[in-house]
């Protein structure tokens, strides 16, 4: 008779069953942490977008970035000395004021303004930039957040702005 020690088939199946149960029970918590991480990344991108907008408008007085405005390719000469020229947010990308984040933009939609965001109206905030979760935003699907001119971020489901 050999002195080798090994696991029996029953012991191996019991360990696999326990690991499967633990994985099944922890999956919703892990998914929530992943959704929260993506939402934090989107909120950070919204801050960067606002900073890019402010820097562009500071560099070119008389030019404002608005949602409904046309897209301008980045010809710097078009912006100097302009008065009441309105450019769209894509201009910020073409002028390299901000680099688009494909990961964030596949999960969230960003707009300049959007006063219909619940987080803004509940807190009496006039939004400069708003974002709404798309279908693949997980638990943030359809939820919005907005930023006011002072840089405060209001999120749906929170009573106060950060």
Q: Could you tell me the pLDDT band of residue 42, with boundaries at 50, 70 and 90?
A: very high
Indicate whether 2 belongs to any domain. Answer: no
Mean pLDDT of 102-106: 89
Residue 65 confidence (pLDDT) above 70: yes
Q: Where are the alpha helices (DSSP H) in the chain?
A: 9-59, 76-79, 90-94, 102-107, 118-123
Confidence at residue 52, expressed as pLDDT on a 0 to 100 scale? 92
HEC string of 100-138? CCHHHHHHEEEEECCCCCHHHHHHCCCEEEEEEECHHHH
Indicate whether 1 belongs to any domain. Answer: no
Domain that holds residue 26: 9-155
3-class DSSP state of 140:
helix
Indicate whether 3 belongs to any domain. Answer: no
Residue 69 confidence (pLDDT) above 90: no
Question: Where is average pLDDT lowest: 19-23, 27-31, 80-84, 142-146?
Answer: 80-84
Indicate whether 160 belongs to any domain. Answer: no
How much of the chain exceeds pLDDT 70, in percent? Answer: 98
Highest mean pLDDT: which range of 30-44, 78-92, 106-120 = 30-44
Confidence at residue 1, expressed as pLDDT on a 0 to 100 scale? 54
Q: Could you tell me the pLDDT band of residue 2, with boundaries at 50, 70 and 90?
A: low
Confidence at residue 44, expressed as pLDDT on a 0 to 100 scale? 92
Indicate whether 88 belongs to any domain. Answer: yes
**pTM for this predicted structure:** 0.79
Count of structural domains, the chain: 1
Mean pLDDT of 16-29: 91
3-class DSSP state of 63:
strand
CA atoms of 86 and 79, how far apart (whole Å) = 10
Indicate whether 76 belongs to any domain. Answer: yes
Indicate whether 111 belongs to any domain. Answer: yes
Average pLDDT, the chain: 86
Indicate whether 44 belongs to any domain. Answer: yes
């Amino acid at each position: 008779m050999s002195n080798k020690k090994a696991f029996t088939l029953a012991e191996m199946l019991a360990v696999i069953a326990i690991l499967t149960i633990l994985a099944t029970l922890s999956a919703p918590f892990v998914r929530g942490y992943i959704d929260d991480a993506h939402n934090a990344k989107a909120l950070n991108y919204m801050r960067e977008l606002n900073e890019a907008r402010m820097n562009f408008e500071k560099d070119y007085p008389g030019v404002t970035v608005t949602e409904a405005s046309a897209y301008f390719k980045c010809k710097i000469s078009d912006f100097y000395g302009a008065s009441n020229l309105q450019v769209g947010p894509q201009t910020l990308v073409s002028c390299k004021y901000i680099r688009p984040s494909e990961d964030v933009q596949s999960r969230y939609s960003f707009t300049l303004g959007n006063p219909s965001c619940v987080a803004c109206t509940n807190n009496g905030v006039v939004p400069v930039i708003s974002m709404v979760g798309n279908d693949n935003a997980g638990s943030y699907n359809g939820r919005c957040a907005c930023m006011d001119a002072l840089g405060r971020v209001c999120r749906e489901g929170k009573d106060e702005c950060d």
